[in-house]
Chains A and B, each alone.
Chain A
Amino acid sequence: MQALTARDLDRARSVMWTYVSTGLAIFGLMAFVGLAMRLEQAGWLSYGPDIFYALMTLHGAGMIVAIAIASMGGLWYLMSLEAPLDEGIAYWAYALMVVGVIGVLVSVLGGHFGAAWTFLYPLPFVGTWWPSWATGAFLIGMAFIMIGWTLWCAQMLACVLTRYGGFRGALAWELVFHAREFEASGKKPPPPQAFAALVAAVDGLLTGTLGMVLGIALIVHWLDPSVRLDPLWAKNLTYFFGHSLANLTIYMAVAGVYVAMPRYTRREYHTSAALAVAWWATLIFVATAYFHHLYMDFVQFPAFQYVGEAASYLAAIPTAVITVYGSLMLVYRSQMRWSLGSLFIYAGLIGWIVGGFGALLDATIPFNIDLHNTLWVPGHFHTYLLEGVVLFVLGWVFMMLEERSATISPVIVRWLVGIGIFGGGALFLLGFYISGADGVPRRYATQPAPGPELSAWASIGAVILLVGLTIALVEGIRLAAVGRRRTT
C-alpha cells in the first residue's frame, strides 16, 4: 500500500468535513422541524395538518439523509487511509445527494408534499392536497439521493475489493477457515472498519438498486397513471430500501467507534475470526430484517414473517457479542481518557443497545400487534439514531477536534452537554415509549389522550436536548478555533 502524502491527507479530510458538516447541518435543521411537530401534537402550536404532514415528510427524509451523509463522510475518510480514493467521485456522489435534498426541500416547502418519507404507493397520487409537480420533485429528488448513494457504495466496494484481494480477502475468509496458515503467512486481515465499508457497500448497492427500481416505477406512474403497481410489491421495496438504509447508517458510523475507542483507551481493536463472522452475519441480516415492517400485512408470503422475526433477533448477536462487548473489553480497567468525544461514543453504544431492545420487542410478532404503527416505533428508532448514530458521529468529530487542538472540554461543559443530550433525550424519548405502550398511533397531527400531555413533556425534553446540542456546537467551534491557532 502506498503511503499517503500530507496533501492526500488534507484532501481526504476535506471530503470528510464536507460530508460530516453537511450531514450535521441538515440534522440540526431537521431537529427543529421535529420539535415543531411535537409542539403541534402537544397543542402548543397550531399550524394545521397540511403543514404538519409536510413537515413530517421533510423530517423523516431529511434526517435519514443527514445521518447517512455524515456517516458516509467518516467512513470514506477511514477507508482513504487504507487505500487511495478518488475524491472526485466522492464529490460527485455528494453533489448528487445535495441536488436530491434540494428537490425534496422544493417539493415539501414549495409544494407541501406530505406523503411521508415512506411515500407508500399509491398515497403520493391519491387524495393529495399538494400539486402534482411536488410529487414529481420529491420522487426525482429521492432518485438523485439514491444515485449519489449508489455511486458512493460502488466506490467503497471497489476500494475494499482492490485493497484486500477480492471478496475472499475482504471477508477475511482465510482467517476464519485457515487461521494457522493465514497467521503463518504473515498476512494481516482487513481492519474492523473495512468490514463496515464492505457491508455498507454490498447492502448499500442492493438497497440503492431496489430503491431506484421502486423510484422509477413511481415516476412512471406519476407520468402515466394508467400504469398500475402492485401495492404489496411497492411496500416490500419501500421498506427494504428504507429499513436497510437506516440500518446501514448505524453500521457505517460504527467504523468510527472501531478507530476512536482504541485511541481513547490506548488499547488495540484487532480483527478476529469472530469479528469477521459477525460482519458476515450483519451483511445478511441487514438485508432480511426489513420483513418486520410488514408483519401486519397478512397477505405477505408467510415464510417472510418468520424470516423477519428471526433476522431481527439474530441481528442483535453481532452487535451485542462483538462490537459492544469488544468495546467494553477495551474500556474495562483501561486508561480511558474521558472527554466529550469519548463520552459521545460510549453513550452512543448505550443508545444503540437500548434502542435495539425497543426494536427487538417491536420485532416480536405477538407484541407487534400491540405496537405496530404506535409511537413505540419512533421511540426505538429515535433512540438508536439520535442517542446512537448521531453520538457516534459527534464522538468522531470531537475526537478529531480534540486531537487537533490538543485539549479537551472543561468538566462543566461536559456536564452541561451530558445533562442536555442524555437527560433531555431521555425525557424526549420516554414520551414516545409511554404513548406507544398506551396505543397512541404514530403520524397523527392531533393525538388521542394521553398523547398531547406526553407530547408536551417530550417537547420540554427536546428543548433541553437542543440546548445540550447547541452547547456542544459552541464547544466544537471553540475547539476548532484552538486547533486552527495551534496548527498555523
Chain B
Amino acid sequence: MSVGFLVLAVFLIMGGCAVAVMVAVALTTRAAPLPQASVQFRGYVLRRWWFRVLGSAVVVAFVISIPWFPYPHAKQLQAQRHYRVVAEQFGFQLPEAVPLNTPIIFDVTSQDVNHGFGIYDPTGVLVSQVQAMPDYVNHLSVEFTTPGRYLVRCLEYCGIAHANMQASFEVK
C-alpha cells in the first residue's frame, strides 16, 4: 500500500470515529435531560484527561516524525552524486538515467516561475517531490530501489500548460 492510501485509511478511521462520537452525543438528547451542573462536573474531569491524551499524542507524533524529515538528508549527502534539474514553462531538463540502489541528489531549480518536481515510480505512485524555484536550488535526496521508467510531473501551478508539463528518466 502506498503512503497516500495509508494516510487515507488513517483519515477515514479517524474521521469515522469523530462522526460516531458526534452522532452518539447528539442521540443523547433523546434521553431525559440532565442539569448542566452535573454534566459539567463529569465533563471537566473527562476534559482534563482528553487534554492530556491529545497533548501527549501531538508531542509523540511530532517527535516520531522528525527522523523522517527530508531536510537533513539532502545536506548530509554532499559527497553523493548530484543531478541538475531545471524546470521551465513547460518542461524539465533532466538526466536521461540515474543509478539504482544509490543515494543521489537532485539539484532542482527553475528558470522562470515556481514549479514542482514530483517523481512518480513505474507503477504511478508519487514517491518524492520538491519545489523548483527561480533564484534558488533545492537539494532533494533520493535512493531508487526499483528499476524502470520514472515520470516527473509539475506539482506547482505554473501556467496554461501546467497539466502537460512532464518528463521522464530511467533508473537502472
Contacts and interface: CB of A to CB of B under 8 A. Distances in A.
B113 A366 contact: no
Given A122-B112, A297-B131, A313 B58 contact: yes
A122 B156 CA distance: 13
A361 B11 contact: yes
B15 A298 contact: no
A126 B89 contact: yes
B130 A333 contact: no
A239 B135 CA distance: 19
Given A346-B22, A439-B4, A439-B125, A357 B15 contact: yes
B31 to A, nearest CB: 6
A352 to B, nearest CB: 10
B54 A316 contact: yes
A296 B131 contact: yes
A442 B118 CA distance: 12
B15 to A, nearest CB: 4
Contacts of A376: 4, 7
Contacts of A374: 4, 126, 155
A350 B54 contact: no
A467 B36 CA distance: 38
A373 B116 CA distance: 9
A364 B124 contact: no
Given A123-B113, A298-B140, A444 B163 contact: yes
B141 to A, nearest CB: 10
B33 A334 contact: yes
Nearest to B36: A267
B120 interface: yes
Interface string B37-55: 0011001000100110011
B137 interface: yes
Contact of B28 (A267, A299, A332, A441): A332
B29 A371 contact: no
A321 interface: yes
Interface in A293-342: 296-299, 302, 305-306, 309-310, 313-314, 316-317, 320-321, 325, 328-336, 338
A439 B26 CA distance: 36
Given A353-B18, A364-B61, A367-B7, A120 B114 contact: yes
B79 interface: no
A369 B135 contact: no
Contact of A443 (B113, B125, B157): B157
Contact of A350 (B22, B31, B118): B22
Given A53-B160, A232-B133, 13 more contacts: A53-B162, A120-B114, A231-B114, A299-B136, A313-B61, A317-B54, A320-B54, A325-B50, A329-B40, A333-B39, A353-B22, A358-B15, A365-B70
Q: Which 7 A-B pairs have the closest CB atoms?
A: A439-B126, A366-B68, A437-B4, A437-B8, A444-B163, A336-B29, A333-B34
Interface of A: 49-50, 53, 114, 116, 118, 120, 122-123, 126-129, 230-232, 235, 267-268, 274, 296-299, 302, 305-306, 309-310, 313-314, 316-317, 320-321, 325, 328-336, 338, 346, 349-350, 353-354, 357-358, 361, 364-367, 369-374, 376, 433-434, 436-439, 441-448
